[in-house]
Amino acid sequence: MVARYHWNRNDERISRLELNTYELRSKIVNHPIYRDITNIEQARGFMGVHVFAVWDFMSILKALQNRLTCVTVPWRPIGDGLSRRLINEIVLVEESDEYEEDFLSHFELYLLAMRQAGADTRPIESFLRLVEDGDVVRALNGTGVPAPAARFVRTTWAAIEGGSSHELAAAFAFGRENLIPAMFEQVLDGPFDLALFRDYLDRHVEVDAEEHTPMAVQMVIELCGDDPRRWAQAEAAVNRSLAGRLALWDDVHALLTAGLVTADPVGSR
């Protein structure tokens, strides 16, 4: 079923977008942060920041679902059927994936992995409690969120609040889904053995590379259509998204190498 969503890999518009965003993507994929996470303390520190990017991913995804489908009552048909199908299939797995005879979101799996690793989940849990009122900026300012994570989420939130659907879809496809396998495959090569963390990484590499990237790219094609202006806006949105990710990695890497982003097991505090 997924095969019919695979975009035409000779699509000149996609090829042009990938070419014009290649430089930033290459810097992210080849970033030294992956090889420099060398011990469990650094892994804990990395997870404590990266979990906000995992939440951020889910927020982009749900923002797209809100725009491309009807999630209110009374129900009414919105947009085109293919875009609805694509976003709903991605949401199904990301929000309620099957794991060990249970169902949970990839964000919840990441939290389980953090707890298994002894990483500090208090900042993200406090953030989630505050964000229930819908004020993300206030929540970022009031919960001890790591500064690199707060900057990254603010960039994404600005795109969610101010970007068009095709811009958001492009940022999701090429700044998230298409990027994640290349990043996570390198983290999997790390020297530490954290079973749940590896399960999370393995699952993302599998579904993003084989299923969700083709779906997300097809969604961009559907939303941009034959409008050159939309394609130009999509490209700019991807570059902004990639720049945000690169800044996040630069910030976290600088802190890790300085020994400033580490975390003792929560039970020891």
In a domain, 4, yes or no: no
Look at residue 266 in the predicted model and tell me its pLDDT: 41
Look at residue 7 in the predicted model and tell me its pLDDT: 56
Q: Over range 232-258, report the average pLDDT.
A: 96
Lowest average pLDDT, out of 64-68, 140-144, 147-151, goes to 140-144
Domain enclosing residue 150, as ranges: 12-24+34-71+80-258
Tell me whether the omega of the peptide bond preceding residue 181 falls within 30 degrees of 0, making it cis: no
Mapped onto helix, strand or coil, the DSSP state of residue 104 is strand
In a domain, 134, yes or no: yes
In a domain, 29, yes or no: no
Q: What pLDDT band is residue 262 in, cutting at 50, 70 and 90?
A: low
Percent of the chain with pLDDT over 70: 91
Q: What separation in angstroms does the CA of 60 have from each of 1, 33, 90, 165?
A: 25, 24, 12, 11
In a domain, 263, yes or no: no
74: left (phi over 0), alpha (psi -120 to 50) or beta: beta
DSSP 175-208: IIITTHHHHHHHHTTSS---HHHHHHHHHHHHHI
The CATH number given to whatever domain includes residue 205 is 1.20.910.10
Non-local (6+) Cβ contacts of 136 within 8 A are 153, 157
123: left (phi over 0), alpha (psi -120 to 50) or beta: alpha
Q: Over range 181-210, report the average pLDDT.
A: 77
Q: How far apart are CA 182 and CA 18, in angstroms?
A: 15
Q: How far apart are CA 239 and CA 182, in angstroms?
A: 17
In a domain, 226, yes or no: yes
pTM score, two decimals? Answer: 0.91
In a domain, 1, yes or no: no
Q: What pLDDT band is residue 249 in, cutting at 50, 70 and 90?
A: very high
Q: How far apart are CA 89 and CA 96, in angstroms?
A: 11
Q: How far apart are CA 14 and CA 238, in angstroms?
A: 12
Mean pLDDT for the chain overall? 89
- As for how many domains the chain has, the answer is 1
pLDDT at 203 over 80: yes
Q: Over range 32-40, report the average pLDDT.
A: 89
